[in-house]
Chain A
Amino acid sequence: MNATAQTENPPPSASAGQEWTCPFCALLCDGFRVESQQGGLKLVGSDCSKAVQGLASFGPVPAAPSATVDGREVSPDAALDAAAERLAASRMPLFGGLATDVAGMRQLVRLANQRGAILDHARGDTLMPVLRTLQDRGQMFSTLAEIRNRADLVVCIGTDAASNFPEFFRRCGPVDEVAFARRTVFVGASAPAGLQGEVDEVALHGDLFDAVAMLAALIDGRRLPAADAALGQLAQAMRASTYCVVVFEPGRLPAQGALIAEAVLRIVMSLNRKTRAGAFMLGGADGLQTANAVATWMSGLPLRTRVGPLGLDHDPLQYASDRLLQEGAVDLLLWVVSLGPNPVPPGTALPRIVLGHPALAADCAAAGTVFIPVATPGVNADGHLFRADGVVTLPLRALRDDGLPTVAGVAKALEERLALRRLATEGRP
């Protein structure tokens, strides 16, 4: 039922299998079930490609794969010892990836404090346009249930929404009994098939930057010499709607995408002078919202921050993982990827510690790498994740036990080892 609108959440006990909350995209759908079958886990109640693909990376219950140090299989304790030793030798580690749950991130922040590590997420580049807009001007957002109950006009800017978030339109499909018709307009993107209600596309003349700038100006009521007629009509429709939601996908924004995020904010603020509107950001893949939320509340600053004995240092540009690795500005990479086998750890000549999905074992067998397989919240561990809107946090339950440690457990064990080392060398914990 990809991309179709459905008016009611599926009743919780509709069919066989276990109740499930999906960790594989930031919508955290909790209305489907999963059946354990020989050979793997099968999604029931949806054909969401993200969920199907995510579950496919968990085959038959494996014997817990072994940790490795420089490609050699070792005991869990030996891997922790080796990782702690390399961390202790590092002067400026980067904690990247950060695809983990709340408990994992809580422990990683504590561990980072021990070594003065920089925290960045694998999708940090998609967070920064939104974060920098928030820091410069703000944000005006709506959430899934608000869209469901109120939005008579949904405008998707530069995304079809459904490709990367297959359940999005179902999750926010209009409620039957509330009398309003939904119109969905795609600007610079093709409409997915099967959407309910009126659906339109507005082609771009120029790039997305031009389109949002023109749309913002038209909504402000400015007279433009060569206004695009379709955008003009859209601006009029947005001003006439009772609750307009502007959707964009930070992960699809071009370079300098903050300009588009800013234009969307301007559009929404401007609409709210007379009517009601909000933005919805389809982002937060791979636990991005979770990592950013936890880092922010514990330290006070969002990702791309160095945390340690000297305090905090936040730099959305300098502390980008790619840049730090390319410039050799860090001396160790600790990569965390527990919500599936992606995003894979970047190749680097630096020492690497990977807390990862078991399928990454082969990628992490090189010299200089410590690999510790970890569990996935929502598949073989419990946990909590933040939804794309950053408001709703849902519990995830293990479907089965594969005997793998959690990221939180591994990070805590590393922290304890570092404390013992300090006690031995400096006489203090």
Chain B
Amino acid sequence: MSTIRLKGGRVYDPANGVDGEARDIGMRDGRIVALHPQEEADHEYDVSGCVVMAGGIDLHTHIGGGKVNLARMMLPEDHRANRARDPLLELASNGCCTPGTLETGYRYAQMGYTAAFEPAMLAANARHAHMEMGDTPILDHGAYVMLGNEELFLEMLARGEDFERIRDYVGWSIDASKAMGVKVVNPGGISAFKFNQRKLDVDENHVHWQVTPRHVVHTLARALTELGVPHPLHIHSSNLGVAGNIESTLATIDALDGLPGHLTHIQFHSYGKEGPKKFSSATRQLIEKVKASPNVSIDVGQIIFGQTVTASGDTMRQFANADLGSPRKYVGGDIECDAGCGVVPFRYREQSYVNALQWAIGLEIFLLMDDPWRVVLTTDHPNGGPFTSYPHLIRLLMDKSFRDEQLARLHPDVAASVDLREIGRELSLYDIAIMTRAAPARLLGLADRGQLGVGAAADVAVYREDADREAMFATPEYVFKDGRLVARQGRLEAVPVGGTHFLETEFDPGIEKTIERYAQRHLSVSYRNAKIGKDELCSCANGGALLACKVHGRLGGK
């Protein structure tokens, strides 16, 4: 197998404490290796003047599944432009906020990303999600199964089922859907909306099942801890987008009671209700709480001005915002006693007071949080903005004068008052490498990704140094996936099929009887089709590598 040497680059590899040292990186058989300086490599790339990082990892991006596909169908206007492409390697695929899966893979790889995770896979729609991810080329992928709104789970909670049984159910769900983690969306709220409840606070009862979001969050977080699932419970908290929702967010952190939790797109959950518009930044309250809660990690969900579409499982909140759609259209669905979906196109405007403040809040969170290992860079693609705006976002974080220029364009009341004006911090390349590689890998339990140590997967991005960080991060000089050159200066070089990350959990199979009986009485699919086997996953995922991760929880491998 051929060897590759990247010679003379400055390496940023926070997982191994490497901060901009000039050193060579060797690759062989898809892995990082130590090459002796005298050893001749089959391919040597002079990367002096370049920055070398592990391939980027997006741990929260809506890249595949039912609601994403509905968003594509709903927005043909997002697909009018056809960019020039390489006819030998690229198939026709386009879109900006709702790209086709092929376009998603091409564009992520062209930016130096090598893995992306779909955060909201419905169990009822899991095959479809894996199919779309399988057709997202180059990137490795995985998904978090949405739990906490299925009627069976809520029923078990309501009747006071033994925790161990619920834990087994969670283990089974991860295994059956071939998930990499668990996400809870508006805990209990998607189900409550089916019973016509329009609001659900953290300590409020679900109108039918009489359980609270606090109970749901705590139970799921405990189950994942006991199952040994590496990624903390991925939490889309109650009251997304509502003024004053900081109270729900703080209460959700309290509900974890010290258990690991990842609060996602936290920007959308960090609002106060002060000021003339009864809508204000609650960044400082949030940061104080997160700093004091080492069990909590976050990703931001930065908004980016311009057209996008919001696609979420949170039907309760999406329906409430349906009238704000721009263009004015709405897709919503109640799905299989499992969860739901809501899609609202949206245009974030600089001159909107609310949008301007949302923009500032997101940046404040990045800049005020002292521990980059607990902050992941996301726009919650496409909800805050398309993932293709990451280079722009990186420049906003690394370049105070650029940030000030953008700030000056905002709604004047926001531009004149936000804390962001006073924040002088500029993130370093080391910070960026943490937030876009090392931290997401660590939060997902991917020991051999997001880093460049010997033995790690040879997913590598090489960026040519440029004071304009947006230009620098938009078009890496070279991108390698598993040791194979996949992109050079923004052009694709190869289009391999990515692999699927998923967990193999341990649980007492006795739980299957309960699930089977429930399926027979309430669902519309036979129990024999409730589980995705490994062979089936392989065909869904287009024959890509199956990157199974065995986890051992309290059952201890029994």
Do A and B interact? yes
- Taking Cβ atoms with an 8 Å cutoff, the residues of A that contact B are 7-9, 11-12, 19, 21, 30-31, 102-103, 106, 109-110, 113, 131, 134-146, 148-150, 171-172, 175-177, 242-243, 269, 272, 275-276, 278, 292-294, 296-302, 307-312, 314, 382, 384, 386, 390-395, 428-429
Q: Which residue of A lies closest to B73 (CB)?
A: A302
Contact A243 B336 (CB under 8 A): no
Contacts A109-B91, A429-B88 hold; do A391 and B528 have CB atoms under 8 A apart?
no
Verify B329–A296 contact, CB threshold 8 A. no
A297 and B72 form a contact (CB under 8 A):
yes
Give the chain B neighbours of A138 by CB distance below 8 A: 74, 329-332, 343
- Shortest A109–chain B CB gap in Å is 7
- Using A298-B102, A300-B72, A301-B76 as known contacts, say yes or no to A145 and B91 having CB atoms under 8 A apart: no
- How far is A341 from B39 in the complex, measured between Cα atoms in Å? 63
A171: nearest residue on chain B (CB-CB)?
A: B524
What chain A residues lie within 8 Å of B94 (beta carbons)?
A: 299-301, 311-312
Whether A175 pairs with B521 at a CB distance below 8 angstroms is yes
- Asked if A12 and B527 sit within 8 Å, CB to CB, the answer is yes
Cα–Cα, bound, A428→B89 (Å): 12
Compute the total of residue contacts between A and B using a CB distance below 8 Å. 213
CA distance A131 to B151 in the complex (A): 31
Contact of A297 among B64, B193, B334, B520 (CB under 8 A): B64
B227 nearest CB across to chain A (Å): 26
Known contacts: A142-B334, A394-B525. The answer to whether A311 contacts B82 by CB under 8 A is: yes
Tell me the complex Cα distance, A308–B85, Å. Answer: 11
Determine the distance from Cα of A296 to Cα of B72 in the docked complex, in whole angstroms. Answer: 7
Cross-chain contact A391 with B336 (CB below 8 angstroms): yes
Q: Tell yes or no: B244 within 8 A of A by CB.
A: no
Q: Are A146 and B334 in contact (CB under 8 A)?
A: yes
How far is it, in angstroms, between the C-alpha of A236 and the C-alpha of B522 when the chains are bound? 29
Residues in B117-132 with C-beta less than 8 Å from chain A = 122, 124-125, 127-128, 131-132
* CB–CB B91/A141 < 8 A: no
Binds A, one of B264-272, B401-409, B475-483, B536-544: B536-544
Measured between C-beta atoms, what is the minimum distance from A270 to chain B in Å?
12
Spell out B's residues near A (CB within 8 Å): 64, 66, 68-70, 72-76, 78-79, 82-83, 85, 87-88, 91-95, 98-103, 122, 124-125, 127-128, 131-132, 135, 151, 193-196, 319, 322, 328-338, 343, 519-529, 536, 539-540, 542
Q: What are 23 sample pairs from A and B whose C-beta atoms fall under 8 A apart? A: A7-B521, A9-B521, A19-B528, A30-B525, A135-B74, A141-B333, A143-B336, A146-B334, A146-B335, A176-B521, A297-B64, A297-B69, A298-B102, A300-B100, A300-B103, A301-B79, A301-B94, A314-B79, A382-B539, A384-B127, A392-B525, A393-B127, A394-B525
Complex: A312 Cα to B82 Cα, angstroms: 7
B381 to chain A, nearest CB (A): 14
B72 A175 Cβ-Cβ under 8 A:
no
Closest to A150 in B: B194
Chain A residues lying within 8 Å of B76, measured Cβ to Cβ, are 135, 301-302, 314
Cβ–Cβ < 8 Å partners of A8 in chain B: 520-521
Beta-carbon contact of A137 and B100 below 8 Å: no
The answer to whether A110 and B74 touch across the interface, beta carbons within 8 angstroms, is: no
A395 proximity list for chain B (CB < 8 A)? 127, 529, 536
A298 touches B100 (CB 8 A): yes
Complex: A134 Cα to B329 Cα, angstroms: 8
Q: Which residue of chain B has its CB nearest to the CB of A311?
A: B82
Given A148-B524, A393-B128, A428-B88, the answer on whether A143 and B334 have CB atoms closer than 8 Å is yes
Docked complex Cα distance between A109 and B333 (Å): 28
Measured between beta carbons, the chain B residues less than 8 angstroms from A137 are 328-330
Q: Which residue of B lies closest to A11 (CB)?
A: B520
**For A143, what are the chain B residues with a Cβ–Cβ distance below 8 Å?**
124, 333-336, 524
Bound-complex Cα distance A56 to B125 (A) = 31
**What's the least CB distance linking A182 to chain B, in Å?**
15
CB within 8 A of A293: which of B69, B91, B151, B332? Answer: B69
When chains A and B are docked, how far (Å) is the Cα of A171 from the Cα of B343?
27
> Which residues on A sit within 8 Å (CB–CB) of B131?
102, 294, 297, 384, 393
Contact B100–A392 (Cβ < 8 Å)? no
A139-B70, A386-B128, A392-B124 given as contacts; is B523 within 8 A of A106 (CB)?
Answer: no
Q: In the complex the two chains form, what is the Cα distance from A136 to B193 in whole Å?
A: 25
Q: Is A299 in contact with B522, judged by CB distance below 8 angstroms?
A: no
Chain A residue numbers with a CB within 8 Å of B331 are 134, 138-140
Q: Which residues of B contact A275 (CB under 8 A)?
A: 196
Q: Are A243 and B194 in contact (CB under 8 A)?
A: yes
Alpha-carbon distance between A384 and B542 when the two chains are bound, in angstroms: 12
Contact among A7, A30, A140, A386 for B333, CB-based, below 8 A = A140
Contact between chains at B151 and A149 (CB < 8 Å): yes
Residues of A contacting B328 in the complex (Cβ-Cβ under 8 angstroms): 137
A272 contacts which chain B residues (CB < 8 A)?
319, 332
The answer to whether A298 and B101 touch across the interface, beta carbons within 8 angstroms, is yes
* B74 with A299: CB separation less than 8 A: no
Question: Which chain B positions have C-beta within 8 A of A172?
Answer: 524
CB-defined contacts of B539 to chain A, threshold 8 Å: 103, 382, 384
Are A21 and B529 in contact (CB-based, < 8 A)?
A: yes
- How distant is A115 from chain B, measured CB to nearest CB, in Å? 12
Report yes or no: B73 in contact with A307, Cβ–Cβ below 8 A: no
Contacts of B522 in A (CB 8 A): 145, 148-149, 175
Q: Is the CB of A140 within 8 A of B329?
A: no
Min distance, Cβ B366 to any Cβ of chain A, angstroms: 30
If A113-B91, A135-B74, A390-B66 touch, does A297 touch B132 (CB 8 Å cutoff)?
A: yes
| Smallest CB gap from A116: residue in B | B92
How far, in angstroms, from A144 to B519 measured CA to CA in the complex? 13
Contacts of A428 in B (CB 8 A): 88
Cα–Cα distance between A308 and B83 once the two chains are bound (Å):
13
Determine the residue in chain A with the shortest Cβ distance to B77.
Answer: A135
Query: What is the distance, in angstroms, from A132's C-beta to the closest C-beta of chain B?
Result: 10
Instruction: Please judge, given known A-B contacts A143-B524, A312-B94, A384-B127, whether A391 and B333 are in contact too, CB under 8 Å.
Output: yes
Contacts of B68 in A (CB 8 A): 297
Smallest CB-CB A-B distances: 5 pairs? A311-B82, A300-B100, A144-B524, A300-B95, A138-B330
